[in-house]
Amino acid sequence: MGEGEKLERYGDLVTVRPEPQAMGARRRPAAEWAAAGAVFTGDVDEEGPGRWRHAPSLGESWQMSVSGTDFLCRLTAFRHVGIFPEQKVHWDWAAERIAAARRPLRVLNLFGYTGLASLLAAKAGAEVTHVDASKKAIAWARENQLLSGLDSAPIRWICDDAVKFCEREIRRGSVYDGIFLDPPKFGRGPDGEVWNLFDDLPHMLDLCRSLLSPDPSFVILTAYSIRASFLAGHELMGDLFGDLPGRLESGELVLRETLADGGTGRALSTSMFTRWSAP
């Protein structure tokens, strides 16, 4: 990483993407940066559209695998590729809790994107409800489900506004044992509903608290917003989940730089997180 960009390998494809937090000099050889197969240019804002510069021979998508689960990567107009690698620590942590439970846990994945958290939770034995406002994201997630051989897994795929869905679930008396919550800074629901992280997150967390079962296992909040502090998220989660027995952890998710000699370099902060877990 360095000079406002990050150099990443996804399978055989090496990409260059903007990263405002990648400050400092580049430590990998310049030739490696120049040889990248796809370079994102245009708007550097997290939610801003841009474009990729890549060889014409590069296909629309390519197959990858994480924790033994296959999925598709794509070069999107919002610089994403279908996976946030730093989230793997949460996926593995949740999968261990799900597998160790004495019963199938009911898990809710809000703002679920391409479904990797949902697939890995289902693979570990959970019954999953996956919610995202984007029809394209839901379609991509279902592609991943088929590709991973989990087409018979108990996953409900729902295209809906996350806030409205949770409000209806509360009225229906639905409860969940685990919740993934990974909201964007700004977004729109299927019917034009507006989501703003700083305005709407407190209400969203209040809804999540109301949706917890009498014997809950975990809640994981991740926020990709450099304006927020993980301490702010910790205090907000503490207000709503602090009375529950268990552990509240907060911090930042990071990617580790790999140096030319194979050693480990600097840490690149990608997001803040707070997660609660039962004893």
Count other Cβ atoms within 10 Å, centred on residue 159: 17
Query: Does position 255 have pLDDT exceeding 70, yes or no?
Result: yes
- Residue 225 placed within a domain: yes
Mark whether 269 and 208 lie in a shared domain: yes
| Six token digits for residue 22 | 């990648």
Provide mean pLDDT across the span 194-204: 90
Mark whether 163 and 41 lie in a shared domain: no
Task: Determine what percent of the chain is predicted with pLDDT higher than 70.
Answer: 96
Name the domain count of the chain.
2
Q: Which helix (H) or strand (E) holds 200?
A: helix 197-211
Provide mean pLDDT across the span 172-190: 93
| Six token digits for residue 168 | 């209806």
What is the reported pLDDT for 44?
A: 52
> pTM for the whole thing?
0.88
Task: Determine what percent of the chain is predicted with pLDDT higher than 90.
Answer: 70
What is the reported pLDDT for 99?
A: 97
What is the reported pLDDT for 195?
A: 87
Which of 171, 29, 169 lies closest to 110 in space, CA to CA? Answer: 169
Query: Does position 126 have pLDDT exceeding 60, yes or no?
Result: yes
Mark whether 122 and 169 lie in a shared domain: yes
Which amino acid appears at position 30 of this protein?
A
Mark whether 212 and 152 lie in a shared domain: yes
Mark whether 129 and 232 lie in a shared domain: yes
Mark whether 88 and 203 lie in a shared domain: yes
Separation of alpha carbons 147 and 236, rounded Å: 38
**E strand intervals along the chain:** 5-10, 13-18, 38-42, 50-54, 61-66, 69-74, 106-110, 127-132, 155-159, 178-181, 186-188, 194-196, 218-223, 247-258, 264-277
Q: The domain spanning residue 106 has which CATH number?
A: 3.40.50.150
Mark whether 55 and 90 lie in a shared domain: no
Q: The domain spanning residue 20 has which CATH number?
A: 2.60.40
Enclosing domain of residue 13: 5-64
- Residue 75 placed within a domain: no
The residue ranking higher by pLDDT, 187 or 116, is 116
Which of 78, 75, 120, 62 lies closest to 96 in space, CA to CA? Answer: 120
What is the reported pLDDT for 135?
A: 95
Mark whether 97 and 46 lie in a shared domain: no
What are residue 36's DSSP bridge partners? none
Which of 207, 219, 218, 115 lies closest to 168 in space, CA to CA? Answer: 207
Query: Does position 43 have pLDDT exceeding 70, yes or no?
Result: no
| Six token digits for residue 84 | 């946030």
Mark whether 213 and 150 lie in a shared domain: yes
What is the reported pLDDT for 226?
A: 62
Separation of alpha carbons 23 and 211, rounded Å: 40
- Residue 70 placed within a domain: no
What is the reported pLDDT for 227?
A: 65
What is the reported pLDDT for 49?
A: 62
- Residue 11 placed within a domain: yes
Q: Which of 33, 64, 95 is the last residue of a domain?
A: 64
Mean pLDDT taken over the chain:
92
Mark whether 49 and 133 lie in a shared domain: no
Mark whether 169 and 127 lie in a shared domain: yes
